[in-house]
Structure 1
Amino acid sequence: MKPFQIPLFALLLQTCLAKGVGVMEVDKHPEISDDGRYMSYSGPDCEPSKKRWGCTVNCKKKDGTVWSLAEDGDQEYASCCLPDQHLSGSNSTEWLCCAGEHEVAGSEDVGYSCCPTGFSFDGERCKEKKKCSNGKRLVNGKCVCPKGTTEADDGTCQKDEKECTSGLETGKCYTFLASNGHYLGMYKDKWYQAAGDDVDQRYGKFQLCKDEKCKPGQPVNPSDAVYIRDIYGHKPDGKNARQWLNHKSHGHHIGSTSDFEEAGEFSLSKWPCGKYCLSGFEDGVGPTCPNSHPSITFWSKDPQMCVPFELTEVPCDIKSDKNNCIWTNGDQCCDKVHCPAKAA
């Protein structure tokens, strides 16, 4: 019920089941006399000629009513209620004089009434609202777990665990930076090692796949068998591009093969600070003979063995305009993951 301005003689006391009481829109903090009958205020219905001294209205003595104030938003409203009642409601519902510990309840469809605080009104009677337990909330008459939680077997709401991903996807290409500061790449068209680029060594650009066709967009998890394809060809003629890293083991250096049946089955596990550890799906992966430019090989006796690399996503095709969007997931150079600074 929208507020309306009424002259004093039209202010009528109505019961809690009435269609609403008349209210006056007044400025904040009007002055009310000690006996509650008189109110000095300023407001839209206060005539300009009277604003110098203010406006005063009173509740009818024979009604035994006194002024009661209520707020709706930033505005204050006033009406005459019995001393043991208070003004309750809003512009979007109705204004009623309610008893203590009661408030306006109901809806436009069924009407409004004064009900005990926390109760609802169905058009005929006040009803206690359904109470929810175990952290649930009442939504459309049903107790449900709040957003971000899931109901457990014992009925309680448990916080959803954040889904963690490796950040790696099939079909995408990455460089592998070893702990010695060099990229993993092909040496003299023979095997892969981590060494600086020169006439005999070139860094690799590796595409991650789960099958020979390399279906893109699939997440790469530590439990997945991953096949690794080197996009680059040999120096200096570019032949044998897009070959698979093979399954050389027990000290034999991992090289490349065009035969998918000979491709090695790898596994990548996420480590802190942007690193991943390269292992095998069934076997482990470790260094071959001691060397400042280590090569890698499969080791069947130690499936937990792995070699840490820092992976950075790079374009598979440097001529594609899609490369403009490669950095939309964040600054991969400077903010891959938060790593606390070491104490001095």
Structure 2
Amino acid sequence: MKTTKLSLLALLLQVSSLDAKMYKKNVLTFEVGPDAKIIGNKIEYSDPDCDPSLQCLTTKSCAAAGTAPTLSADKKYFACCLAGQNLLGSPDTAFDCCASGHDLVGSPAAGYHCCPTGFTFDGQQCKPVCQNGKQLVDGKCVCPDGTVDAGDGTCKPKPPCDSGLQSGKCYTFTAEDGNRLGLHSDGFYYAAPDSMIQRYGKFELCADEKCTSTAPINPSDKVYIKDLYGDVGTGTHAGQWLNNAQNGVHISRTPTFANAGQFSLSKWPCGKYCLGGFTSGIGPACPADTPAMTFYSQDPQMCVPFNLTEVPCDIKANSNNCIWKNGDQCCNKVDCSK
């Protein structure tokens, strides 16, 4: 009699144990032992908590059409899932059959649902999980105000407006009277009509002596200017630097980088740029109809306005074939829409 009672108690404990290893949230799921085997539409396994003195082999089959026993990735749980689905979840959350490329996500308050990898569940729908400081706006992860996407998924501070100038590129400088800045036969630079004694300059903007940088140029940057043309009439002595003549001395050329002028360029209204100095200002050297320029050490804000036009540094380069773009590249330099 006692033996019968003990056997009945053991059986009740076994049933209780089996009930405890069944999870009903989302999809009916059972915990299985390490010997679980799927044979066709059936699964055989031992109850993990079965008394070693008992044989607790269980066989289950899936009744719903198109489903079959599916083990979780750790082989500890099974449920009836459709072909191609994975059993995901845990006893602390829920279990569900999810398609490839999906995760089981959510929270105790919102519930749990299969959503694409990288998404979360808010109780109603799947929404992206924003990484790297991005914010969810209209269902998309975007960088916060004041920042932009860096191209690798992260956000970086939004840069100031681009100057449109770049070191390593070449430009012509056209004054407000329509004349281009260039070298005169007297060795100084003026904005004057081209002639046998005056020729316009093709100026390369450089960040250093090697002039290999191709970075954007900002108003706060130090700029060196190289005239790629040579002497008027002969072309000799090409590629010299505009020098650092100051306080009335006319700006001319120098082959010595240590004597090169340190310039700055800042956007000016109506599509112009103002040519100044990095620490000094630049202005007319003399009271003349066509004055030369000089650095003003005592007036760092002084500058001379020019229109800058990008031109090929090497007119023999085949890449020049690609200079013309759709439309007229000379137009729309100034936004007059308002």
TM-score normalised by length of structure 1: 0.56
Give the distance between the partners of 1:195 and 1:317, measured in 2 at CA. 24
Instruction: State how many pairs are aligned.
Output: 226
Partners of 2:245 and 2:252 within 8 A in 1: yes
The answer for the alignment partner of 1:284 in structure 2 is 281
The answer for the alignment partner of 1:238 in structure 2 is 235
Partners of 2:146 and 2:158 within 8 A in 1: no
The answer for the alignment partner of 2:142 in structure 1 is 147
Deviation at 1:260, TM superposition (A): 1.0
Give the distance between the partners of 1:247 and 1:122, measured in 2 at CA. 69
Percent sequence identity over aligned pairs? 50
The 5 A counterparts of 1:1-344 are: 107-108=98-99, 120-121=112-113, 129-130=121-122, 138-139=128-129, 144-145=134-135, 146-149=141-144, 161=158, 163-328=160-325, 331-340=328-337
Secondary structure at the aligned position of 2:265 is classed as: strand
Consecutive unaligned residues in structure 2, runs of 5 or more: 1-25, 29-84, 86-95, 105-109, 136-140, 148-154
Consecutive unaligned residues in structure 1, runs of 5 or more: 1-16, 20-92, 94-104, 113-117, 132-136, 153-157
Give the distance between the partners of 2:312 and 2:336, measured in 1 at CA. 26
Secondary structure at the aligned position of 2:320 is classed as: helix
Deviations 1:32-61 (A, max 9, x none): xxxxxxxxxxxxxxxxxxxxxxxxxxxxxx
Deviation at 1:216, TM superposition (A): 3.5
| Amino acid aligned to 2:129 | V
Give the distance between the partners of 2:216 and 2:230, measured in 1 at CA. 26
| Amino acid aligned to 1:257 | T
Deviation at 1:177, TM superposition (A): 0.5
TM-score normalised by length of structure 2: 0.57
Secondary structure at the aligned position of 1:149 is classed as: coil
**Shift in alpha-carbon separation, 1:270–1:107, aligned structure 2, 3 A:** same
Give the distance between the partners of 1:327 and 1:163, measured in 2 at CA. 27
Give the distance between the partners of 1:303 and 1:183, measured in 2 at CA. 24
After superposition, the CA RMSD in angstroms is: 3.8
Deviation at 1:340, TM superposition (A): 4.9
**Shift in alpha-carbon separation, 1:318–1:159, aligned structure 2, 3 A:** closer
| Amino acid aligned to 2:191 | A
